[in-house]
Amino acid sequence: MINLILFGKPGAGKGTQAAFLKKRYELVHISTGDLFRNHIQNKTDLGTLAQSYMDKGDLVPDQVTINMLEQEVAQNPAAKGFIFDGFPRTTAQAQALDGFLRSLNMQISGTLALEADDDLLVGRLLKRGETSGRTDDQDEAKIRNRFEEYNTKTAPLKDYYQAQNKFFTIDGVGEISEITARLEAVVDQLK
């Protein structure tokens, strides 16, 4: 079984690359951002709650996010493995994920961090915002706040996974196919 975390700032290419890795290694792709957006679309209570944070570019509270993620994993008992995209984003989430996976006799194989400059990421996100309809991609102040959330709450996870020898940095700049090849080279060593 192979369980990957795709790590990186908003716009780093996690969703795009997850789509390739999912096919290549037959994994279940779980994006907490997509799950929240589905809840918002379906007008659930969780969606209403999540939206109030997402609209500002703030993180949704840990326990809400962790519960949603655990439910999603539990709904895929036959999975050959998972790609976690946009989760964990805080140390509390990482600890909860480790504990939860352990309880299922599973573990994280590796955390793949896609790296690119902030200015390049802002450009990518504003461009995505033209077609995605995502209001959090259409306003530079919200984008910068998402980076701030990342820097303060998510970036420390690098140390968390490095301490477990599970952190791999991948250059996230270039053609999509080149970046996929860089990721595959790392994943193939984890198998």
Residues lying near ligand AMP in the complex (CB under 6 A): 10, 32-33, 36, 53-54, 57-60, 65, 86-87, 89, 93, 136, 146
Q: Whole-number minimum distance, CB 181 to ligand AMP, in Å?
A: 23
Q: Which is nearer to ligand AMP, 125 or 170 (CB)?
A: 125
Q: Whole-number minimum distance, CB 189 to ligand AMP, in Å?
A: 26
Q: In what order do the strands lie in the sheet with 2-7?
A: 28-31, 81-85, 2-7, 110-115, 167-171
SS3 68: helix
Q: Which is nearer to ligand AMP, 117 or 148 (CB)?
A: 148
Q: Is 117 exposed, middle or buried (0-12, 13-18, 19+ CB in 10 A)?
A: exposed
Q: Whole-number minimum distance, CB 150 to ligand AMP, in Å?
A: 9
Q: Which is nearer to ligand AMP, 7 or 87 (CB)?
A: 87
* Rounded CA Rg of the chain: 16
What are the Cα distances from residue 110, in Å, to 2, 38, 191? Answer: 8, 27, 10
Q: Whole-number minimum distance, CB 122 to ligand AMP, in Å?
A: 14
Q: Which is nearer to ligand AMP, 11 or 105 (CB)?
A: 11
